[in-house]
Amino acid sequence: MTETIQRKLNDSAAARWTALCLLAGAMFFGYIFMDILSPLQELLATSRGWTPDAYGRYAGSETFLNVFVFFLIFAGIILDKMGVRFTAILSGSVMLIGAAVNCYAVSDAFIGSGAEQVMDRFMNLPLKWWNITPFYEGMPASAKMSALGFMFFGCGVEMAGITVSRGIVRWFKGKEMALAMGVEMAIARIGVAVVVLGSPVLANKIDPVSVSRPVVVAVILLAIGLISFIAYAFMDKKLEDQMGESGEEKDDPFKISDIGKLFTNPVFLVVALLCVLYYSAIFPFQKYAINMLQCNLQYTAEQAGLVFFVFPLGAAAITPFLGNFLDRRGKGATMLILGAVLMTLCHLTFAFVLPATQSALIAYLGIILLGISFSLVPAALWPSVPKLVDSRFLGSAYAVIFWIQNIGLYLFPIIIGTVLSATNRGVEDPLQYNYTVPMLIFASLGIAALLLGLWLKRLDATRHYGLEEPNVK
């Protein structure tokens, strides 16, 4: 009977996996909106006048406030001070507000409105290297307004990311933590798969053709995601009541000065840099992948979506198995090295082999390599963080990693857009771009990640952080 009394809600497999489904469901809808316009780059160019520069600035705007206003750092402090429940609901609300602004920007109602006139006069800075904002003179008003909305959405979705990671640690610590993180990321990746197939269909296959129709659907899904976070909050409150004073957030409370300890922890910084390299070679690539496949294979957006569909779906299928392996067998640092090798091979394939062969089979091969590589990251990297820092500032640790990651996620879409324009002077048709140099840039990130992965494994071997050890105790 004593054993029954001492059991907590997270000791029940059904309860903790239900909590995970609520968290992962909200992130699933967030990832749908994050890439809802990615398959529509051609349509945005023809119907709204978005050049590669404008599209690149829009794509990078998601992380602007997180990087330059340090919103993610504040989000980590909010998470450690206020807890998972408050931060989850806050992040869901911010995502929804930002998405609604973005939706208005690409709607027909925006055309000819007073808001369009305001945006025409807003932030007309020269398109120079020192202009770090997402805005420049000559940028279409709809792209400016979309970038504003995407900024606020980005604050919400990145806050949600660290909150979900912290929530998973709370429910799965000492249990199937890598598997849980892998499943959560797998569900989110399915959101990307839904986007690359569904967004072009909603935009092009229903009369009249409308770039805003998929965005409206994505906003509705974000509202459902906010409801999922609210439902999770009730479960989490019950768990906290059961944990009482033994709860991880009650013991040795967080202090803002603890953030300094993260920047003096060398292995933590290596993990953070690995994260920015991995994600900079994948998420910005997702923004351009459909158009790249269209240019190399002469495909429609729908056909290119069917090819790219293999990436998120494959990653979703493989990630839980890798998470389970890492929980039981370990080898996290080794898996990160393997992921860097596969990612480099993928982008080199797209740089040289695909343009030469114009083979759909080669395209599928490259996408499969990228999917396997990306499945290694959430399964191996995120469960490593609790082994490196104290639980009382784990939220801030995730926030710092996400902040460093967001620097890359802000810069590289802009860099790729700029390079794409520079290497395709005079090319007016968005289906005739040459993507060789952008793919080489992505491949160089993979090489840098490989070197850091080797260094991380060496640090772990000499200082015994346990990165190669199993998670299940």
* Dist. CA 180–CA 324, nearest whole Å: 9
* Dist. CA 377–CA 465, nearest whole Å: 18
Lowest mean pLDDT among 82-86, 396-400, 430-434: 396-400
What mean pLDDT do residues 342-357 have?
94
Question: pLDDT digits over 55-114, tens only?
Answer: 999 988 998 998 888 888 888 888 878 888 999 999 999 999 999 999 999 999 999 999
pLDDT at 11: 78
Question: pLDDT digits over 82-96, tens only?
Answer: 888 999 999 999 999
Domain covering 15-463 in this structure, CATH number: 1.20.1250.20
pLDDT at 330: 74
Q: pTM here?
A: 0.75
Cα-Cα-Cα-Cα dihedral sign, residues 371, 469, 399, 241: positive
Which CA distances in Å does 225 have to 153, 256, 308? 13, 30, 25
The residue extents of the domains of the chain are: 15-463
Report the chain's mean pLDDT, rounded to a whole number.
86
Lowest mean pLDDT among 75-89, 109-123, 217-231, 244-258: 244-258
Selection from 130-144, 189-203, 255-269 with the highest mean pLDDT: 130-144
Distance linking the first and last C-alpha atoms of the chain: 25
What mean pLDDT do residues 12-34 have?
91
Residue bearing the bigger pLDDT, 429 or 186: 429
Query: Under a CB-based contact definition with an 8 Å cutoff, are residues 123 and 175 in contact?
Result: no
What mean pLDDT do residues 428-447 have?
93
pLDDT at 217: 96
Query: Under a CB-based contact definition with an 8 Å cutoff, are residues 184 and 27 in contact?
Result: yes
pLDDT at 190 over 60: yes
pLDDT at 249 over 70: no
∠ CA(333), CA(266), CA(377), 5° rounding? 30
pLDDT at 252 over 50: no
Which CA distances in Å does 346 have to 61, 285, 465? 26, 11, 31
pLDDT-based confidence at 378, cuts 50/70/90? low
By the 10 Å C-beta count (0-12 exposed, 13-18 middle, 19+ buried), 360 is classed as middle
